[in-house]
Amino acid sequence: MNRLAKIEAAQAQAETQPWWRGAAIYQVYPRSFQDSNGDGIGDLAGVTRRLDYIAALGVDAIWISPFFTSPMKDFGYDVADYCGVDPIFGTLADFDALVARAHDLGLKVLIDQVYAHTSDEHPWFAESRASHTGPRADWYVWADAKADGSPPSNWQSVFGGPAWTWDARRGQYYLHNFLPGQPQLNGHLREVQDALLDAARFWLDRGVDGFRLDALNFAMHDPALTDNPPAPDDGKVRTRPFDFQQHLYNQSHAAIPAFIERIRSLCDHYGAVFTMAEVGGARALAEMHTFTSGDARLNSAYGFDFLYAERLTPRLVAQAQASWPDAPGTGWPSWAFENHDAPRALSRWCAPDQRDAFARMKAMLLITLRGNPIVYQGEELGLTQVEIPFEQLQDPEAIANWPLTLSRDGARTPLPWTAQDEHGGFSQNAPWLPPGEENLARAVDRQEADPASLLNLTRQLLALRRGQPALRWGSYDVLLADDAVLAVRRTFQGQSLLCLFNFTPDTVAAAALPAPAGRMLASVNGAGPEGLPPFGAMLIEETP
């Protein structure tokens, strides 16, 4: 069988795969994507206006961060109405128009669902705090004070301080694993689960193709309110009381998978709906495997292997991929190098004078991973972390822990569309965060005009991934992962691709690499038969 016949056979085999398996996803942080009405805040109409740009990248789906009705204490992750659109983002009609246009362009639409907590302005919480006996009295986690008036357990909040706040109206403490304005839902209660599933059904009926389930391992707690034990000293600087504990009882309850199975059952009723869990913490990998095991739980999990890594190394990549073996019953991974919560990768992983070359190698690495690659808006432009002065900070975690916690705001700055505009073409007026002078120089219009830009390379690499079954669905076999080089073979139905990466600013000679024999499909930073120049990478279709 010749090369073309093998690829055609592999593609025929691939038609049996669900659309989401191996799909490339583009994360949209709508507050910073495109402002359509001049108020300095991005909105749904702005996203719709720019969908052609996203489709031209070559991704399969978009994931839209929260746009729900919210007081915005945590920028939408404090939901006051699961079935409403916050006015700053537009209307339900705007959302419907976005979905329709995305589907016309062949893009699937994923949205966040936040099931661990709501806003303290949600009507459910208002009703729950009003009475010990009302219909929603137990929808949140309430507990009496200890005899001395102190909180019922030693649990600490992710964002700093105790995870309990006293409520005089109820005469009890309520639990919040994040901000006091994000009271913890009682996920153990069947009625709470039913209400959350009704919210999911609402969006599925509007054409949504999948969900990212935010902080899913926080969905249930230990009802006995057992104190968390202290965490051993790992030598790292601890900026929050949260870091001093092992989080055994405030999260990760053994009943969560049963709720997950209810979510999956609902989504299966709507066909090929994609479900992806966000799971962090010290036991994240084990929980991700539990949440995605078999055919009755979630399709994928979104890990933190790369998001907070101080360095990108061959061994880190090899270890992360080895954590998700191609074995029956094992879930499917999703990967991101950047997102709205993590510092921009180029500001973490390389020196400023290395960024252009490193970004090109990183782009090729992402599209060759086994799993779903997720591109965070602006990553395709090579955006870097913007330094936000204290007086302009919006991020509640960064404000509370300043200056030791790196602001999430620096990765949430507006996407620059035009380099000549002081607001980057994002808005007619001053945006909610400054775009950053350095990032304005990387604007879309400037890169579209440059055939050698990172934007155009990203488009080429995503198109390549879409056309290569071995990249979308193939096995991932590490041939070499040392201090400098990652060599990987991706295979699927007779097609074999050799992927070679140099993670260093030094040249790696061909003699130090697995011998490539075949057709070059892609190359960056001058990689070729002579070897890998600094941050060089190449992808070769091997000759049988």
Q: What is the Cα–Cα distance from 350 to 368, expressed in whole angstroms?
A: 20
Neighbouring-strand partners of residue 64: 28, 111
Three-state DSSP class for residue 29: coil
Q: What is the DSSP letter of 316?
A: H
Task: Label the pairing between strands 108-114 and 495-502.
Answer: unpaired
Q: Which residue has the tokens 């073309």?
A: 4
Instruction: Please pick, among 86, 112, 278, 287, the residue that the annotation labels catalytic.
Output: 278
Q: What is the Cα–Cα distance from 55 to 26, expressed in whole angstroms?
A: 10
Nearest residue to 170 (alpha-carbon basis) of 144, 195, 147: 144
Whole-angstrom CA distances from 333 to 40, 398, 463, 479 are 35, 29, 21, 21
Three-state DSSP class for residue 373: strand
Give the per-residue SS3 of 48-71. Answer: HHCHHHHHHHCCCEEEECCCEECC
Q: What is the Cα–Cα distance from 141 to 184, expressed in whole angstroms?
A: 6
- Quick one: tokens of 309? 């890594």
Q: Is 228 exposed, middle or buried (0-12, 13-18, 19+ CB in 10 A)?
A: buried
Instruction: Please pick, among 60, 214, 395, 397, the residue that the annotation labels catalytic.
Output: 214
**What single letter denotes the amino acid at residue 288?**
M
Q: Which residues contact 541 (CB under 8 A, 6 or more apart)?
A: 3, 495, 496, 497, 518, 519, 521
Looking at 114-175, list the stretches that DSSP marks H as alpha helix, in order from N- to C-terminal side: 123-130
Does residue 326 have an active-site annotation?
A: no
Rounded to 5°, the CA angle 428-429-434 comes to 115
Does residue 205 have an active-site annotation?
A: no
Neighbouring-strand partners of residue 519: 541
Q: What is the DSSP letter of 74?
A: T
Rounded to 5°, the CA angle 481-484-489 comes to 40
**Residues with active-site annotation:** 214, 278
